[in-house]
Structure 1
């Protein structure tokens, strides 16, 4: 019993899969267009993220430059104290200098990390944009092909629908051509009759002349 139920459930799953696959195939171009649209939306978001990364990097560059300037200024002050043998003042400033150096080192590392992240993101965006351009071109080609196939299908349907009308048109044309050929044959026949009558008339005139000539030849001559 359970074996049969399991088989029935498998058949139902197979039927559902076939229906879904058929629906996906029927809407493949629409699905591809939506997938491209969603990928483009993701690309726009990634561009916004990259813009924020670059903005943060520029801000950190300014902060690092300011820290380096303060560091250089403190170093100059310490050198002056050391030149004047003011060890205590130089030592107190040196303690703060160490803190400033650690800060500059930390900011430098963060800036390098941001720069590396920016470069990776730029490469990813470039590759994504290139792939999207490829799929956009393929989508346009698929849409053009689909439109051409639809047009060809409609023409084929119209040809089949009007095939009987075309046969009737051909029959009418054949009848017209037959009538015209018969008229031309009639004209030729009339011409032949006219020629025959003209020839017969000439022959009759010649025969009369011959008869008269014979009579004149046989008629008795006057004494």
Structure 2
């Protein structure tokens, strides 16, 4: 059982590492999608806000209508009293009380909706500011990633070019060495030709008795004596 638990733990660890790798490799895409989702949420919040504002406007219209009804019925009650019809005036007063009760309810609704509207507006403004900040950050991380990729590509190209240049330099050195060897061979051949040509001439001169005669010891001694006289 312990072995199975360890295997299961290892599998869960592998899945987590795989998930982390996917998240890391798609970080910018995920961040961008999260911003899009947040924008959609704000748009939905604005739609909800318009609904709340519409309900508030309806409640305010009801309040205005009730105020008008109360004022009108107060006039009716006053006229009934002028006619000494207190019973009718009392009945009208009861109607006014109903209107005032409804008005208090609508006033409470208006107050509650007003608070909700202000709260929603504050949340939306805060969210929009946060999204704007995230969009600026997204632009920065995109630019940073582009620069890093470009730098990495340049480094790879330079490394590849250096390898190519090194290979080309080696080839050039081999060519130069081969050419120098060929030049040395040509010069050596010329020297040999001259040397062999000179030896042939010396042989001909010696055969003709023009060159190559060696003075004898007697001749040398006679030359020395002549020099002393």
Provide the TM-score with structure 1 as the length reference: 0.73
Query: What's the CA shift string for 1:110-164, capped at 9, x where partnerless?
Result: 1111101000001110111111111111111001000011111111111111113
User: How many equivalent residue pairs?
Assistant: 173
**CA RMSD in angstroms, aligned pairs only:** 1.9
| 1:85 aligned counterpart, secondary structure | coil
What is aligned with 2:139?
A: 140
What is aligned with 1:9?
A: 8
CA distance in 1, matches of 2:62, 2:25: 58
CA distance in 1, matches of 2:90, 2:139: 73
What is aligned with 1:66?
A: 65
The answer for unaligned runs of 5 or more in structure 1 is 176-223
Runs of 4+ in 1 over 2 A off after TM superposition: 164-172
| 1:128 aligned counterpart, secondary structure | helix
Matched, 1:105 2:80: no
What is aligned with 1:154?
A: 153
Provide the TM-score with structure 2 as the length reference: 0.71
CA distance in 1, matches of 2:171, 2:61: 91
| 2:129 aligned counterpart, secondary structure | helix
The structure showing larger relative contact order (alpha-carbon pairs under 8 Å, at least 6 residues apart) is 1
Q: Aligned pair in 2 of structure 1 residues 170, 70: CA closer, same or farther (>3 Å)?
A: farther
Larger radius of gyration: 2
Query: What's the CA shift string for 1:44-100, capped at 9, x where partnerless?
Result: 010111112112212221221111101101011112222332111101111211111
CA distance in 2, matches of 1:112, 1:42: 26
